Amino acid sequence: MLPVTHYLFLSFALFFIGLTGVLSRRNLVVKLFSIEIILSAASINFMAFARLYGDATGQVFSILVVAMLALELLVALVIIAAVCSRWKCATGDYGKDLPSQLDY
Amino acid sequence: MLNHILNAFRTYMHGDGAVLLPEMQLFLFAIGTLAMDSWAANTSSEKSGSNLVFEQKYWNPAIALAGIAFSTLTLGMLRARIVQSGELAGFHLTLVIDNYFVFFSALFLAATALVILLSVNSSTISAVRQGRYFALLLFACISMMLMVSAVDLVTIFLAMEAATISAYFLTATPGLSNRTPSAAVRFVFSSALGSALVVYGFSLLYGLSGASNITQVARALGSRHNVAKVIALSHQSSQQGLQMLQLLQSRLPEAVHWHAFTLEALPIAAFLLVIVGIVVKFAVPPFQAEFNYANGEKDFGISGPVILYLSGAFTITAAALLVRLLFTIFADSQNIWWYIIAGLAICGIGYGILGSLRETNVERIVVYSSIGQMGYVLLGVVAANEGAATAMTYYLFTYLFMVTGLFGVLITVGEKNAPAGFLRDLSGLRQRSAVMALLLIVFVLSLAGAPPTAGFFGRYFIFHSLLETGHRYIAWFVALSSLPLAYSYLRIAVYAWRGNKSGSESTPVVFGAREAIVLGICVFVSLAAGLYSEPFTRMARYAFGQ
């Protein structure tokens, strides 16, 4: 196994990539999967430490993080759909696709 | 066979199930509310409601209130049990019932009951979504109780997520407000970012300690200085270095891979991530106000009782969680990180004051100022002695009732097509209803911190504990910053008491028993906790086990 600091550097890098994405992009879909990048950085951390300590808690936490991520994406997309149905974006507007209309 | 099943059920209920019992009861009643909602929707086409005991629109809140009553009774039984036999822990020490949990979940149940009573006649909650609204309130209450009950990183994270998902739906369901839920979308994203930060911080905490129970994490973090020294010594190629290496390999084999610097630096990163994550996650609604200005919207777009619930109970949950984390995991290095918390709190107070000074929307004034109030609570963490712990819980307790009372007056006074959102809507309140104007003044004075009321004593106890522990300049800041905060609150009272509306526009305020009960309880706590505060400080001390 590689020294655990290698995994830490990888997850720090992913964390900062995701953080920059959330803070500087205006498109909602891009924000959503930038948050997903941060959460997968945390998952990498959990699995690396679980391997280090031989403890299953980290792996359980990884699975829970992914499950929570899925739930949060679902809720966020439902809310975006509600907003878009009121603001009439992406319905019957030929020549425009949904992601470009989700700019704030 | 049946005996077998019953025995298993009884064992569960005496052990792990007892830890979850209040939440399970609320859950059952939330499901019952949804079932009642769909049953009433199906039968309303047949009956015209002539021979029903209640009107149909009162069934849902009645079931929700019954759930809260049952849950409070269970909480009382659990409290008696822990008085007898000490703390109760379940599910492999991930959930715990202790004094802290009993105090805060009683507070959350009270908050939920008050919001349910206020929102029965609220004009902004359409009858179509009522069942779902009350069920969402109960689900949010369940997850807030779980948040205070959780002592494991995994369960804390799950409870936080459950609470904020309930909040997303409360703010975003289209039937719950007449206006576009754009603030809800931004709330979802900021909150998701906050939870991502918190999860990353938790992963670092887990990595530093190899355990997820917060007492074990605290123990590992407490001994990290010694471990770092041993690691630094073991890297030397001398006899002593070899001895240290052997010691490490025998006692703590994982730590051989760590560098001493990593062990010292990572807890700081974890601390910052967890604190910033929780603040971004829960102190969120006012951030949206910046964007609302840009888009030309004048208010939050979220209905009154929901804003009350978010800025009252949710903020208190965040504060309770922060206090538990700071006092267990990060307790040993408090003399290092109090600077960070003090800076954060002072920035929060300043932001709250500056934000509320330029607002004309009453809801926004109160929400911005609530950031300031939470800043004062955080300053209690800076002065970490027994008096400060009591001060913080007393402050949170009285703050909930003051804010509920203030929003209660706003909700009662607002009508269907004239919600009392802006300061100018409140003018002439004295002509419309002297009682409401008086109550508004009492709540505003209490939040501003005028002496005989509870708000003054909350801030005074924190001021006193800061002086006791030697933080003189921060205590001066607490005293001096109360003045502009009081100004932004008192503006509301001035408009209500001295404004004049023309006679044709001023309709008298109609309120029933529900609003009277809520406002009566809130005004009682606001005044009694100030005039005779000993029972309330005793309750606050109880939360920390004294």
Interface of A with B (CB under 8 A): 3-5, 8, 11, 15, 18, 22, 28, 31-32, 35, 38-39, 41-43, 45-46, 48-49, 52-53, 55, 57-58, 60-61, 64-65, 68, 71-72, 75-76, 78-80, 82-83, 86-87, 104
CB B108 within 8 A of CB B22: no
Q: What is the mean pLDDT of residues B516-528?
A: 90
Residue at B242 is within a domain = no
Contacts of B439 (CB under 8 A, 6+ apart): B405, B409, B519, B523
Pick B200's closest partner by Cβ from A5, A42, A80.
A42
Residue at B365 is within a domain = yes
Which structural domain, as residue segments, surrounds residue A93?
A: 4-101
* ipTM entry: 0.89
Can you give the pLDDT at residue B302?
Answer: 65
Residue at B75 is within a domain = no
What residues in A contact B212, CB-CB < 8 Å?
57, 61
Q: Calculate how close chain A gets to B172, using CA atoms only, in Å.
A: 7
Taking 60 as the threshold, does the pLDDT of residue B363 lie above it? Answer: yes
Give B336's pLDDT tier (boundaries 50, 70, 90): confident
Q: Calculate how close chain B gets to A86, using CA atoms only, in Å.
A: 7
| Tokens representing residue B323 in the block | 């206090």
The whole-angstrom separation of Cα B192 and Cα B44 is: 39
Q: What is the mean pLDDT of residues B438-458?
A: 90
Our count of domains for chain A comes to 1
Contacts of B474 (CB under 8 A, 6+ apart): B342, B346, B379, B382, B466
Please report the DSSP string for B111-122 in residue order.
Answer: HHHHHHHHHSS-
The whole-angstrom separation of Cα A104 and Cα B2 is: 60
| Tokens representing residue B12 in the block | 């569960």
**What is the value of pTM for the model shown?**
0.89
Can you give the pLDDT at residue A43?
Answer: 95
Nearest to B372 by CA among B320, B447, B456, B288: B447
User: Is residue B291 classed exposed, middle or buried when 0-12, 13-18 and 19+ CB atoms within 10 A define those classes?
Assistant: middle
- Residue B421 CB coordination number (10 Å): 19
What residues in B contact A7, CB-CB < 8 Å?
none
| Alpha carbon separation from B153 to B244, B281, B493 (Å, rounded) | 32, 17, 44
Contacts of A55 (CB under 8 A, 6+ apart): A49, B210, B211
For residue A41, give the CATH number of its domain: 1.10.287.3510
Interface of B with A (CB under 8 A): 153-154, 157-158, 161, 165, 168-169, 172, 174, 180-182, 184-186, 188-189, 192-193, 195-197, 199-200, 202-204, 206-207, 210-212, 254, 257-259, 262, 291
Q: What is the mean pLDDT of residues A39-65?
A: 92
DSSP H or E run through B96: strand B95-97
Please report the DSSP string for B277-334 in residue order.
Answer: HHHHHHS-HHHHHHHHHHHT--S-SS-HHHHHHIIIIIHHHHHHHHHHHHHHTTGGGH
Please report the DSSP string for B255-283 in residue order.
Answer: GGG--HHHHHHHHHHHHHHHHHHHHHHHS
- Of A10-24, B185-199, B255-269, B317-331, least confident by mean pLDDT is B255-269
Which structural domain, as residue segments, surrounds residue B479?
A: 330-546
- Of B65-69, B79-83, B136-140, least confident by mean pLDDT is B79-83
Can you give the pLDDT at residue B236?
Answer: 74
Nearest to B94 by CA among B166, B20, B195: B20
B122-139 residue pLDDT tens: 766 655 567 888 999 999
- Residue B402 CB coordination number (10 Å): 29
Q: What is the mean pLDDT of residues B100-108?
A: 94
Our count of domains for chain B comes to 1
- Residue B228 CB coordination number (10 Å): 18
The whole-angstrom separation of Cα B335 and Cα A53 is: 30
Residue at B504 is within a domain = yes
The three state secondary structure string of B175-206 is HHCCCCCHHHHHHHHHHHHHHHHHHHHHHHHH
* Angle formed by the axes of helices B153-172 and B315-328, nearest 10°: 170
B412-430 residue pLDDT tens: 887 655 555 677 777 777 7
Distance of CA B433 to the CA centre of its chain: 32
What residues in A contact B186, CB-CB < 8 Å?
104
Q: Phi, psi at residue B125, to the nearest 5°?
A: -105, 105
- Of B97-106, B257-266, B382-391, least confident by mean pLDDT is B257-266
Residue at B80 is within a domain = no
Q: Which residues pair with B89 in a beta bridge?
A: B96
Pick A76's closest partner by Cβ from B180, B188, B258.
B188
Taking 70 as the threshold, does the pLDDT of residue B466 lie above it? Answer: yes
Pick A35's closest partner by Cβ from B192, B202, B204.
B192
Q: What is the mean pLDDT of residues B476-486?
A: 91
Q: Phi, psi at residue B206, to the nearest 5°?
A: -65, -40
Can you give the pLDDT at residue A91?
Answer: 38
Taking 50 as the threshold, does the pLDDT of residue B184 lie above it? Answer: yes
The whole-angstrom separation of Cα A13 and Cα B222 is: 28
Pick B185's closest partner by Cβ from A4, A64, A80.
A80
Residue at B517 is within a domain = yes
Taking 70 as the threshold, does the pLDDT of residue B56 lie above it? Answer: no
Taking 60 as the threshold, does the pLDDT of residue A60 lie above it? Answer: yes
Q: Which has more confidence, B501 or B387? A: B387
Nearest to B197 by CA among A41, A70, A51, A47: A41
Residue at B107 is within a domain = no
CA dihedral B322, B328, B333, B337 (to 10 degrees): 0
B7-20 residue pLDDT tens: 998 888 888 888 99
